């Protein structure tokens, strides 16, 4: 048997010897076309002609099964009428769909000797008979797995039964057709695969066991920077040499064992550049050989790698300073805490830039950023490589010092940082500021046993540094913890007191200096818990920092307005002054809410015509420092209703004469600290005289608070200050006592 027959036998799965009824010429002709890669249509056409030559009177046909396996399509039928082929093309196969449709459906040979009277042709005989076709024998064409690929049919123009030779011929023809179809599809797949590989965005190079290149697509040539005249070569050891040695070892260990390998490596281009790549190596065995072959498929992931590195950097580093960010620092601290059995301890410094808000407000946030960057460089000078320097946000920074550091060493480092940071910083060619940092120090495990406690301890110590003058450091102490716990406890109690309406109003009368009669009163908030008074100096800052001051302030205004209504009903119309916290005006929304609250309260009181002129709001200079147009608008709206605006504690803050002239103010109160220092010399007296004269010139009423002696009273009267508030006359008193005073005053001086 020649090579052609061996191929046929192997591919077709022939189980019978070569039948002499099928000529050797037929086989050789078809095999020659197959081996030369002739198109399938040409091979099937030649096969049909050769079969027809062997059986005169035969009209042969090859139908191919559609991709979905449901219809027959014309493959080759040169001597059947075109109109008949057109009808048959696309017919859906089934159990009684002519000879070919049935053979394709059942996978069995179908012999129809008489088309006109056979049930398989009942629906299709008219198409055949009109062309004189009377008999049709059909053989299913199958691949080596037994899957139907199509049919080979032999038509006759007379009623005809096949002989044994005829059946052998049709079977052999179907097998030759099968060989042609499978071979054609295999070649087509190869051509398609090559096209796909050539157009892949991934680099593909196929090598043999000695790494000689068997195939390489254009993407590979482009990726490794091959020039047109470069020799196509691929040396894996050299190509992956920039990778980690253990990764390269893993790759070649897998390949030596015939296993696929997948991973990320670093490649070396022909121009010397390195790049990151994702690699998949598939191992296969070459045809007719025991040697292994390798398909190297890889993609350039350098950009993705850079993006991932950037994302990682952004997730762990501050964008402005490049320092570790909050998340990265806290993660490292938590790792140290989790390993406390192995780690003897560590120290933590919390730092805050002093007066940074003023820099931002004065020069802008861009200049504030310049200051932060320069400050960071000064701190870095003081740190060793083991320290982790991080920015927590805004102007808050932290330093993690792993390992045991003595208190003396910590003090030396903190002092060094304070001295190094305190300097003039140039924000632009014509702007510069001096700045410093306040530092709080806590240690693990001496001061805290978890991250949250550690932060709280360092924060408390830093707060003390700021409160004691800034540009200094403090270690956390147990007393700080006690103070913090008291603040936390008072915060909880404040919320309960607000819910239970447990606050009480006290009234400190303001008297006429000449007559001693009560002309007005300042309303003061008092709070008792378990029978003990808690100082406003202690609970008011807590209320402000927690935001409770907004609700407390509204409650106070409601109680004061209720009191005014009561006094008016008793015939004692009396102006009451209410202290207003800066935090109640912190935003435009709060300012609008503050203004609207008066209308809401009046509706709740059921009063139609409320005497707004009996309300005085005492604000501080710090509120006016905001210089917000919206704030001025709100204050003017309140004054339009009749409410008076008094500037409290004048002269103790960042005093500016422009406040008196440009802001909607009706009164000022000279702070007690000025009154107390009158005995120290003429300069303090001159200051009071200047304030009074300026106020009177601007038509502002003046009240002196904190008057406790006759000498102080006399100075006030000499300077024509008529409204006096102080212990010389009255201390703050409960509402009931205040009402008793007003009742007595009404009896003594009914026309006052």
- Cα 8 from chain centroid (whole Å): 64
From the list 335, 350, 364, 359, the residue with the least C-alpha distance to 393 is 350
The strand pair at 59-65 and 72-76 is best described as antiparallel
DSSP 380-447: HHH--TT-EEEEEETTEEEEEEES---HHHHHHHHHHHHHHH-EEEEEETTEEEEE-EEEEEEEETTT
Question: What is residue 356's predicted lDDT score, i.e. its pLDDT?
Answer: 87
Q: For 176-235, how does the pLDDT look when each residue is reduced to its tens digit (9 = 90+)?
A: 888 888 887 776 656 655 665 666 667 888 888 888 888 888 888 888 877 666 667 788
The least confident of 78-82, 425-429, 551-555 is 425-429
Q: Is residue 460's pLDDT more than 50?
A: yes
CA distance 68 to 46: 27
Q: Two tokens at 247?
A: 């990764």
Angle (CA) 117-121-122 rounded to 5° is: 75
Q: Which residue has the tokens 């992956």?
A: 240
Q: For 567-611, how does the pLDDT look when each residue is reduced to its tens digit (9 = 90+)?
A: 999 999 999 999 999 888 888 888 899 999 999 999 998 888 899
Question: What is residue 729's predicted lDDT score, i.e. its pLDDT?
Answer: 94
Task: Tell me the mean pLDDT in the region 512-520.
Answer: 93
Q: For 696-706, how does the pLDDT look when each residue is reduced to its tens digit (9 = 90+)?
A: 888 889 999 99
Question: What is residue 193's predicted lDDT score, i.e. its pLDDT?
Answer: 56
Question: What is residue 616's predicted lDDT score, i.e. its pLDDT?
Answer: 95
Which of 254-258, 480-484, 649-653 shows the highest mean pLDDT?
A: 254-258
Assess contact for 460 and 483: CB atoms under 8 A. yes
Give the other-Cβ count within 10 Å of 107's Cβ.
11
Running DSSP on this structure, what letter comes out for residue 608?
A: S
Q: Is residue 5's pLDDT more than 60?
A: no
Q: How confident is the model at residue 2 (pLDDT cuts 50, 70, 90)?
A: very low
Question: What is residue 653's predicted lDDT score, i.e. its pLDDT?
Answer: 55
List the 72-76 sheet strands across, edge first.
72-76, 59-65, 148-156, 135-142, 110-112
Task: Tell me the pLDDT of the chain averaged across its residues.
Answer: 86
From the list 483, 491, 480, the residue with the least C-alpha distance to 350 is 480
CA distance 123 to 130: 14
Running DSSP on this structure, what letter comes out for residue 468?
A: T
Question: CA quadruple 99, 101, 104, 105: dihedral positive or negative?
Answer: negative
Q: Two tokens at 350?
A: 């919390």
Angle between helices 548-569 and 536-546 in degrees, nearest 10: 120
Task: Tell me the mean pLDDT in the region 264-273.
Answer: 89
Exposed / middle / buried, residue 163 (Cβ in 10 Å: 0-12, 13-18, 19+)? exposed
Backbone angles phi, psi at 79, to 5 degrees: -110, 10
Give this prediction's pTM: 0.50
35 or 597: which leads in pLDDT: 597
Question: What is residue 588's predicted lDDT score, i.e. its pLDDT?
Answer: 84
* High-pLDDT (> 90) share of the chain, %: 45
CA distance 492 to 510: 34
For residue 538, the cross-strand partners are none
Q: Is residue 626's pLDDT more than 60?
A: no
Q: For 74-129, how does the pLDDT look when each residue is reduced to its tens digit (9 = 90+)?
A: 999 999 999 999 999 999 999 999 999 999 999 999 999 999 999 999 999 999 99
Task: Tell me the mean pLDDT in the region 635-639.
Answer: 92
CA distance 169 to 146: 19
Q: How confident is the model at residue 466 (pLDDT cuts 50, 70, 90)?
A: confident
Running DSSP on this structure, what letter comes out for residue 115?
A: G
H or E element: which one contains 184? helix 164-199
Q: Is residue 20's pLDDT more than 80?
A: no
Task: Tell me the mean pLDDT in the region 476-486.
Answer: 78
Q: For 298-309, how does the pLDDT look when each residue is reduced to its tens digit (9 = 90+)?
A: 888 888 888 888
Q: Is residue 251's pLDDT more than 60?
A: yes
Q: Is residue 11's pLDDT more than 60?
A: no
Q: Two tokens at 518?
A: 């009560």
Q: Is 546 helix (H, G, I), strand (E, B) or coil?
A: helix
Q: Two tokens at 699?
A: 């038509």
Question: What is residue 295's predicted lDDT score, i.e. its pLDDT?
Answer: 86
Question: What is residue 485's predicted lDDT score, i.e. its pLDDT?
Answer: 77
CA distance 687 to 710: 20
For residue 63, the cross-strand partners are 74, 151
Which of 95-99, 272-276, 481-485 shows the highest mean pLDDT?
A: 95-99
Q: For 396-405, how does the pLDDT look when each residue is reduced to its tens digit (9 = 90+)?
A: 999 999 887 7
Domains and CATH numbers, the chain: 3-194 (3.30.450.40), 200-306 (3.30.450.20), 317-476 (3.30.70.270), 501-746 (3.20.20.450)
Q: Is 145 helix (H, G, I), strand (E, B) or coil?
A: coil
From the list 212, 214, 260, the residue with the least C-alpha distance to 236 is 212
H or E element: which one contains 376? helix 365-382
Q: Is 31 helix (H, G, I), strand (E, B) or coil?
A: helix
Question: What is residue 1's predicted lDDT score, i.e. its pLDDT?
Answer: 31
Assess contact for 598 and 641: CB atoms under 8 A. yes
CA distance 375 to 353: 9
* Cα→Cα distances 689→653, 686, 704, 710, 717, Å: 19, 5, 12, 18, 11
Q: For 230-242, how does the pLDDT look when each residue is reduced to its tens digit (9 = 90+)?
A: 667 788 999 999 9
Q: For 339-389, how does the pLDDT look when each residue is reduced to its tens digit (9 = 90+)?
A: 755 557 899 999 999 888 888 877 888 999 999 999 999 999 999 988 999
């Amino acid at each position: 048997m020649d090579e052609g027959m061996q191929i046929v036998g192997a591919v077709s799965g022939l189980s019978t010897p070569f039948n002499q009824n099928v000529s050797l010429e037929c086989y050789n002709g078809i095999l020659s076309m197959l081996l030369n890669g002739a198109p399938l249509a040409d091979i099937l056409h030649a096969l049909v002609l050769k079969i027809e030559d062997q059986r005169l009177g035969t009209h042969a046909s090859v139908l191919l099964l559609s991709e979905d396996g449901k219809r027959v399509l014309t493959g080759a039928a040169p001597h059947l009428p075109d109109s008949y082929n057109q009808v048959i093309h696309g017919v859906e196969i089934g159990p009684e769909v002519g000879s070919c449709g049935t053979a394709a459906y059942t996978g069995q040979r179908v012999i129809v000797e008489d088309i006109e009277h056979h049930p398989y042709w009942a629906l299709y005989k008219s198409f055949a008979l009109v062309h004189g076709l009377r008999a049709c024998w059909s053989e299913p064409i199958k691949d080596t797995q037994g899957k139907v690929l199509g049919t080979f049919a032999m038509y006759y123009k007379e009623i005809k039964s096949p002989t044994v030779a005829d059946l052998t011929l049709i079977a052999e023809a179907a097998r030759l057709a099968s060989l042609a179809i499978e071979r054609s599809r295999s070649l087509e797949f190869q051509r398609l695969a090559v096209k796909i590989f050539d157009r892949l965005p991934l680099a593909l190079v196929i090598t043999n066991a000695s790494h000689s290149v068997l195939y390489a697509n254009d993407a590979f040539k482009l990726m490794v920077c091959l020039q047109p005249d470069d020799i196509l070569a691929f040396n894996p050891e050299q190509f992956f040499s920039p990778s980690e040695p253990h990764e390269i070892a893993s790759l070649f260990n897998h390949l030596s064992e015939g296993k696929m390998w997948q991973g990320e490596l670093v490649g070396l281009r022909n121009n010397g550049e390195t790049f990151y790549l994702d690699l998949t190596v598939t191992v296969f065995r070459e045809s007719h050989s025991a040697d292994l072959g390798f398909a190297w498929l890889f993609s350039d992931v350098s950009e993705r790698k850079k993006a991932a590195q950037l994302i990682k950097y952004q997730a762990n580093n501050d964008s402005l300073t490049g320092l570790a960010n909050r998340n990265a620092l806290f993660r490292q601290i938590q790792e140290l805490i989790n390993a406390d059995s192995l780690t003897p301890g560590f120290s933590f410094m919390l730092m805050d830039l002093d007066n940074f808000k003023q820099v931002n407000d004065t020069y802008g946030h861009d200049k504030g950023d310049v200051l932060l960057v320069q400050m960071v460089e000064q701190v870095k000078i003081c740190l060793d490589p083991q320290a982790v320097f991080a920015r927590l946000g805004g102007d808050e920074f932290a330093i993690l010092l792993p390992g045991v550091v003595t208190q003396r060493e910590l003090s030396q480092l903190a002092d060094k940082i304070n001295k190094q940071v305190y300097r003039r910083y140039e924000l632009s060619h014509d702007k510069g500021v001096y700045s410093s940092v306040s530092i709080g120090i806590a240690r693990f495990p001496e001061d805290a046993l978890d991250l949250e406690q550690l932060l709280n301890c360092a924060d408390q110590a830093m707060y003390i540094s700021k409160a004691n003058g800034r540009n200094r450091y403090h270690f956390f102490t147990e007393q700080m913890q006690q103070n913090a716990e008291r603040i936390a406890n008072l915060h909880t109690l404040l919320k309960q007191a607000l819910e239970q309406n447990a606050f009480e109003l006290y009234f400190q009368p303001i008297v006429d200096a000449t007559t001693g009669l009560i002309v007005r009163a300042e309303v003061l908030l008092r709070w008792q818990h378990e029978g003990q008074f808690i100082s406003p100096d202690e609970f008011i800052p807590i209320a402000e920092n927690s935001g409770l001051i907004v609700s407390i302030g509204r409650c106070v205004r409601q109680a004061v307005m209720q009191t005014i209504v009561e006094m008016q009903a008793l015939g004692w119309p009396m102006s009451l002054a209410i202290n207003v916290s800066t935090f109640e005006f912190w935003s435009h929304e709060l300012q609008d809410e503050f203004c609207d609250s008066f209308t809401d309260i009046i509706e709740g009181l059921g009063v139609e015509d409320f005497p707004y002129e009996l309300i005085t709001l005492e604000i501080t200079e710090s509120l006016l420092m905001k210089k917000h147009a919206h704030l001025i608008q709100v204050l003017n709206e309140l004054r339009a209703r009749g409410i008076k605006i008094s500037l409290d504690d004048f002269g103790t803050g960042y005093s500016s004469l422009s406040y008196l002239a440009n802001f909607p103010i009706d009164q000022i109160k000279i702070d007690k600290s000025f009154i107390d220092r009158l005995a120290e010399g003429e300069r303090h007296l001159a200051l009071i005289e200047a304030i009074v004269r300026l106020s009177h010139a601007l038509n502002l009423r003046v009240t002196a608070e904190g008057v406790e002696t006759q000498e102080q009273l006399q100075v006030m009267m000499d300077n024509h200050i008529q409204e006096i508030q102080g212990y010389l006359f009255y201390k703050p008193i409960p509402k009931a006592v205040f009402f008793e005073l007003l009742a007595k005053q009404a009896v003594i001086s009914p026309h006052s």
